[in-house]
Every structure is written in C-alpha cells, then in structure tokens.
Chain A
Amino acid sequence: MPAYNLYMGCSVPANYPNYEASMLKVALALGMELEYMENVACCGSPNLRAIDYLGWLTVNARTLAIAEENGHDIVTPCNGCFASLKDTLHHLKHDESDMKKVNSELKKLGLTFKGTIKVRHFIEALYTDIGVEEIRKKVTNPLDGIGISIHYGCHLMRPADVTGFRPEILDELVSLTGATVIEYPIWKQCCGATVLPVNEPLAIRLARDKIKSMKEAGAAFAAVVCPACGNQLDLQQLGLKDSYGEVYDLPVLLYPQILALAMGMDESEIGLEMNRVPADTILDHLTS
C-alpha cells in the first residue's frame, strides 16, 4: 500500500477533530498510510484566490512542491483544499508564464514546483486505492435501512475538467455501508459556505434549503466530505429555529464517521458527540 502525503489544511484540525480522527482510524483499519505533511498550513481557500491570485497560486504550488519531494500523492479531507491544489495544478500546467512567476517566488524558499504530483480527496483514495470490495469486507455493522442524502460539495465536483471527480463514487461508498442513498432535487446546489463572510443570511438560506430538501426526500441523515459544508449544514441548522422558526434535526455526518460506524467502531472514537445535531437516531437504529 502506498503512503500518502496527508494535507489537512487548517479547518479540519481546528474545527473538526472528529473528521480528522475518524479519517485516520478508518485509514488505519484499511491499511492506508497517511503521513502528515511538514511545514504546510492553509490553502488560502477561494477567498485568497479571489483577491490575490498569484499569492494563492504560490501558496498552493509550495504545498505541491513539498509533496513532490517525497513523490507521494497528496490526500486531503477538505473540498476547499482539494479545489485549491487541483486548480493550481491544472492552471500552472496550462500557463507557462504563471508557472515561471510562481517558481521564481518559490525559489526564494528553496523550492521548485514541477507539476508531477497527484492530488486526491480522501474519499477518492479510498475508492480507487482500497476499492469498494475491500472496504465492504470490513463492514461488520451494516447501516441497513438508513436513508442518507449526500452533499458532495461544489469544489469537489466542479469544474469537472479541473477536479475530475465523479460523484457516483461517493454514492458507492455510502451504499457499501448498507445505507440507502436518498436522492433529492437540489443535490448539486451549494451549501453557501463561500458567501458566509459577505452575506450571512444568504448563506443560511442556502444551507436551510439543502437540509429541507434532504429531509423532505426522506433522508435520516446527511453525509458530507468537507469541513466547510459540514459547518454549513450541521452548525447552521441550530440557528434555523431563530431565523426561520424551523427545526429539522437532520444529523450531518462526515463520511469517515459513517464508514467507521459500519465498520463497528465506537462512537466515542470518531467524536460523534461533537457533531452539532445529535446523531442519536442513528445510534438507536444501530443498536436496535
């Protein structure tokens, strides 16, 4: 099994240790060797891209260049980090002049970006390197009968020519836990995370629409693979009573948490109590 450069970004370790822990535990159980990258931090997120394109490119090219030193693929649990790295990779491969600019900056830090590294979201690595069949073998506690709606996250799916992500793989990964994927009309729609700094009511509205749509479609809980999306769908739900007078109580789980449960891991190992909307209903179901 190959080793991976694990790029955490800043949001997961700061706000979602439950995501981090469940990912590491699932990876360990499946024999994935995730090694934290050294000397890296934030990807800058779309916000940096919006105001300082060259800075953003350079920050991410630096991360890629560091990974190039040991040659292992980068794996990240965050859609924002994934998009930043993927987009940087894609853009620099197609733009020689920016490539030169970036490398002249990196040179000052003693680095060179070549564009030889692959970037993958954690769930892609799960899917392609471990494979559905291998993972299924580890499912001891199938989530049969539970309906899950998936929020994939925009920056994982689009632009497709940059990210190269196929949403079906997450469907398969969810299905193999025994759960049923519940489709809902606005599955492509954004969670609203990016607009939070400039228009909070709008961001909340978008989160609310998604939760409402999932709930109406009959989902028992939601699956996400990104801290920012998780924040929108999970945390914002608590405020909906104030802003909309609506209560949905739709638990939002990070995918590794779901998989961990199906693999028979204990809720405490994966920080389920840190999820804002209590996931008791699932636990009830599993123990029943």
Chain B
Amino acid sequence: MNLDFSDEQKLLRDQVRRFLEQRCPPAAVRAVLEGEAEYHAALYAGLAELGVLGSAIPEEYGGVGLGHLELCVLAEELGRALAPVPVASSIYLAAECLMQAGSEAQKAAWLPKLAAGEAIGCFAIAEGRGRMSAEKVQARVEGDRLSGAKAPVADGGIADFCIVAARDGDGVSLFLVDLSAAGVRRTALKTIDPTRGQARLDFDGAAADRIGGAGDGWHIASQVMDRAAILLAFEQLGGADRALEMGRDYALERMAFGRQIGSFQAIKHMLADMYVAATLARSNCYYGAWALSSAAAELPVAAATARVSATTAFQHCAKNNIQVHGGMGFTWDFDCHLYYRRANALALALGSLSTWESLLIERMSAGNREAAA
C-alpha cells in the first residue's frame, strides 16, 4: 500500500513551489486582482515552459506525458500560490475533455497548443443560476452553427476556444468553438474573485465542431467534471494549507495581553480545527488522486469525496484565517482576503457544495445497491 506521492513527485512539488514563490508572490496575484489583465500571462508562459501545463498530456500531443498524479501535485501548488492563470479551464477541463472524447484531428489541433500555453481553452456548461443539468441547456446547434448564451464561463474572456454543451437534435452534445470566429461575443463579468476571470459568451451562429458522440454531451461533461473536480480539490487543499499556515504564523507573531495570541485556547483550538479540516481534505484528495490516476471504478465517488472535503476545508480555513488575524485580516493590504475570495469562488466552480454533497450520496447509494445486487 502506498497512499502517498513518490519521491520524484515530491521533488517536482518542491521545484514548482520554489518557482511559484519566485514568480507568483502575493504581489503577482494582486496585480491581476487590481489591474486590467485577466490573468498573469508571463506566469502562464513560465508554467508552460516548466512543463506544468503539459504534464498529463501525452508526448505525441506535445505534452510531457507524466500523468495525473503529477498534475495533482502541481494543482496543489497552484492553489497554494493562488496562481492567477487559466490552468483549470485550459488543462483540467479543455485538455481533459479533448483527451477523453476528442477526435484525432481535434486533439492534434489543440493539445499541443494547450501544452505549450499558446492557446487557452475553456469549458462552458452553465446557463445562468442554479444547479447545472442537461435539462437546463438551451444553447442549440443547427447545421454546425451554435446559438445561445453561456454564463458564467471561467476564463471565457481570454480563451481561444471553448467546449460548449448544446442541444443537437434531441440530446445534448459537446462542441468545440473557435472563439476568434464570427458569431461570438464575450462580456467580462464582475466576480468575488477577480484573480480568476469569468465571462458571458453569446453565440450567434458560431461555427461548432462536435466532440464525442451525438447526445453523449452530458455524459462526457460529467466525466470531465469529475476528473477536474479532483484537480480543483487539490487547488483547494493547497489554499487551505496556506491559509492555515498564515493563521498559525500570525498567532505566533501577534501579541495581545502580553502573550502570543496563539497561547489563547480560543485561537489555538480554532487553528487545531483548521488543521483537522485540512488533514481530512488531504487524505480524501489523495484518495481522489489514486482514483484519477488509476482510472478506478471508484472515480465518481472519490471525486465527490475529495471535492466536498476540500471545499469544506478551504472555506473553513480561509474564513478562520481572517478571524485569527483580527482587524488586520480584513484590510486590503493583508493577503487573507485573497484566500477568502478564492475559497468561496472555488466552492462554486463545477457546481456548488450542496450539489456535490448530493452527488456523493447518490453515487454511494447506487454503488451500494449494485454491490448488494
């Protein structure tokens, strides 16, 4: 049994952590938060160069061909550094979808560019508020032309292409749409976490190229989102761990009543509970990593488990990190709010916590029924 990363994977983690400490300090995150740019282009190029973007993409498509465990390791570091780059959209979702269901031509056209950071992809399922579902998809493709609106679309403002769920005949299929083509309008959306951009995409007869079988769209999208959920859970884990560290460090440095505030049980026990949440999340994420890398039948349950646990942990740690910091934690100048924003934004990505809670139990009970039958 080995529920841990290998020594090589740990070396990779250390290398990426050092890289991000240098290239993505909080000031770099703030530049995106406060500036006009929707992402940190130089950092993204650097990650491509380092092989991060292509780590799980096969060599034949320009990737490094390492695997998904390495991608999990990288995701944790990106989350820890709050990296303001479109890795989730482009790699966890778009590249993953192409690898799962793309045609040879589609893969050849886009995967090398994604791995090289020369193109950004995004994934557009949601149409407005509430839980995503196949029934809610109103976007429609007729004669290879897409019409309809998708919002919010993470990184929709900067992507080169988009994978869109749309109706085609009776069912929902996925389509690849070049966003530089005619019939596409993008509108940036204001969000609680401007370090990860969101947009509304309006399509009016944009050229659309189907990915995967007709009517298979929802099924493929669910599989892709399960895989991406595990990677996002690692980002959440990285964020939770860093928020815990920040709180711990402040509790050691800050004095009140002549004592380090970490010597007060109210603070000490708050941090202990953050540690508990982060540790449970780490163990559940490792379970997810195992399922993702081994294509296990448990993948859907493992994805929901990792996601629920990591969402809960990151929200808990980010919120209480502010509380440990007291008034300073609520200033723009301290970094606490950067983690709080990201924690609450990631909690909604690919569907909110309550959605994943419901999915987890639905899947566990289905599995249980099968096992009993």
Q: Is chain B found bound to chain A in the same assembly?
A: no
Q: Which residues of A contact B (CB under 8 A)?
A: none
